């Protein structure tokens, strides 16, 4: 079996780090990195820290508008997939790299396996929602992280090739050791700080919303550590909001490697985030989680009481944190996504 895996952004490096080593015990994997993320802290740090094999192809598309970026990926993927002619193309999640991999493969009649299929925010203004919907509709294998994702696909008429496998990210969190030295280097200790990440276009592209989020961070009852995504940094500069980053109690750091991030999450008093991956991880680790969005694809976290959906406006974030009671139920049992996916791919179409 020959598999081409298309990755290109931070969360995809992390997911590939879980599946690729096992995949390579029973298949030949051709790894294609689109180059959507190129900063050292968004890409190289994961290749090194998670021992991801170097890509066979690096497309070096870099940043651009959605259409241009996705178009460059498609143009570069087409000849590679024709030449390699894999049995499957694997794509992860919901980025422009996911969409490009899925469209390039399906146009060549190469079956697509989508990992993290079926998630929906029901907000078509999110670029990720478009990417998910289109990718799911051209995929032959749809590996869902939870039952709700399966239900979403059923509602859209997709029932063939759908499988509930669980979330790959759960596997990696549990295998990741603490990096206490890293906490020491930042002069942090357990439960003395909150951790915050924000990078979604719908928040960071709006000056008023972004300022409100930064103001809410400055008024938290804990000091807050912010590994700042380059998109957010550039919007803060563009909107001249830099002064919020030097407020007392705000500690801005560069984005960190996976092990460091899990350590920061594990020891935080609270996690505030608009990231899909970070909200899942923080809940998995049992840390009070505030989702800085109006809706989430991971509604089960809110229903179970593991996370609170705060909205993105300053007043709403402050009100949600002020309520502050926390009583999450027991964590559901983990599935075995790696084995489920590999066995299913081996069974064929």
Point out which residues bind ligand UDP (CB under 6 A). Answer: 10-11, 14, 197, 227, 255-258, 261, 275-278, 281
Binding residue for ligand UD1, selected from 4, 16, 23, 42, defined by CB under 6 A: 42
Among 1, 21, 38, 338, binds ligand UD1 (CB under 6 A): 38
* Closest CA relative to residue 77, chosen from 122, 32, 112, 45: 32
Cα–Cα nearest to 97, from 201, 9, 5: 9
Residue 116 binding ligand UD1, by CB under 6 A: no
**Distance of closest approach, residue 219 Cβ to ligand UD1, in angstroms:** 26
Cα 152 from chain centre: 19
Structure tokens at 204: 């960071």
Q: How far is the CB of 45 from ligand UDP (least distance, A)?
A: 8
Rg of the Cα atoms in the chain: 20
Q: Are 44 and 61 in contact (CB under 8 A)?
A: no
Q: Is residue 51 left, alpha or beta, with left meaning phi > 0 and alpha meaning psi from -120 to 50?
A: left
CB of 107 to ligand UDP, least distance (A): 25
Residue number, 111 or 257, with CB nearest to ligand UDP: 257
Q: Which is nearer to ligand UDP, 295 or 344 (CB)?
A: 295
Catalytic one of 37, 199, 229, 267: 199
113 token code pair: 């396996």
Please say which residue, 63 or 176, places its beta carbon nearer to ligand UD1: 63
Cα–Cα dist 257/97, whole Å:
21
Shortest separation between residue 128's beta carbon and ligand UD1, angstroms: 4
Binding-site partner at residue 36 among ligand UD1, ligand UDP, none, CB < 5 to 8 Å by type: ligand UD1
Residue with tokens 């594990």: 266
3-state secondary structure (DSSP) of residue 330 = coil
Binding partner of 207, given ligand UDP, ligand UD1, none, CB within 5-8 angstroms per partner class: none
User: 229 an active-site residue?
Assistant: no
The number of C-alpha atoms within 13 Å of 317 and in the hemisphere containing its C-beta is 27
136: partner contacted, choices ligand UDP, ligand UD1, none (Cβ within 5-8 A by kind): none
- CA 82, CA 85: separation in Å to the nearest integer? 5
283 binds ligand UD1 (CB under 6 A): no
Contact flag: residue 45 with ligand UD1 (CB under 6 A): no
Neighbours of 349 (CB within 10 A): 10
Provide the minimum distance between the beta carbon of 11 and ligand UD1 in the complex, in angstroms, as a whole number: 5
Eight-class DSSP state of 283: H
Task: Name the site residues for ligand UD1 (rule: CB under 6 A).
Answer: 9-11, 36-39, 42, 63, 94-96, 127-128, 199, 230-231, 234
Residue numbers annotated as active site: 199
């Amino acid at each position: 079996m020959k598999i081409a895996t298309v990755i290109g952004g931070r969360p995809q490096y992390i997911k590939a780090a879980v599946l690729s080593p096992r995949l390579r015990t029973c298949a030949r994997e051709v790894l294609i990195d689109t180059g959507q993320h190129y900063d050292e802290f968004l890409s190289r740090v994961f290749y090194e820290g998670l021992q991801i094999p170097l890509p066979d192809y690096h497309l070096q598309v870099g940043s651009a508008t959605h259409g241009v970026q996705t178009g460059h990926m498609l143009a570069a993927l087409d000849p590679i997939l024709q030449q390699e002619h894999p049995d499957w193309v694997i794509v992860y999640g919901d980025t422009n790299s996911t969409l490009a991999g899925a469209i390039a493969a399906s146009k060549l009649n190469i079956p697509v396996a989508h990992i993290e299929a079926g998630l929906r925010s029901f907000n078509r203004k999110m670029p990720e929602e478009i990417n998910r919907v289109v990718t799911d509709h051209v995929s032959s294998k749809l590996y869902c992280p939870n039952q709700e994702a399966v239900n979403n696909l059923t509602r859209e008429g997709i029932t063939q090739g759908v499988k509930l496998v669980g979330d790959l990210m759960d596997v990696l969190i549990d295998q990741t050791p603490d990096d206490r030295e890293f906490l020491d280097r930042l002069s942090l200790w357990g439960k003395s700080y909150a951790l915050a990440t924000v990078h979604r276009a719908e928040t960071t592209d709006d000056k008023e919303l972004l300022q409100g989020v930064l103001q809410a961070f400055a008024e938290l009852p804990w000091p807050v550590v912010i590994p700042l995504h380059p998109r957010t940094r550039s919007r803060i500069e563009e909107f001249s909001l830099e002064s919020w980053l030097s407020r007392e109690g705000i500690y801005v750091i560069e984005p960190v490697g996976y092990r460091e991030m899990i350590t920061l999450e594990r020891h935080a008093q609270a996690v505030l985030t608009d990231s899909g991956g970070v909200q899942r991880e923080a809940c998995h680790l049992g840390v009070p989680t505030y989702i800085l969005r109006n809706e989430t694809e991971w509604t089960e976290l809110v229903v179970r009481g593991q996370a609170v959906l705060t909205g993105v406006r300053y007043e709403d974030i402050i009100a949600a944190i002020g309520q502050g009671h926390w009583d999450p139920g027991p964590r559901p049992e983990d599935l075995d996504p790696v084995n489920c996916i590999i066995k299913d791919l081996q069974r064929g179409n």
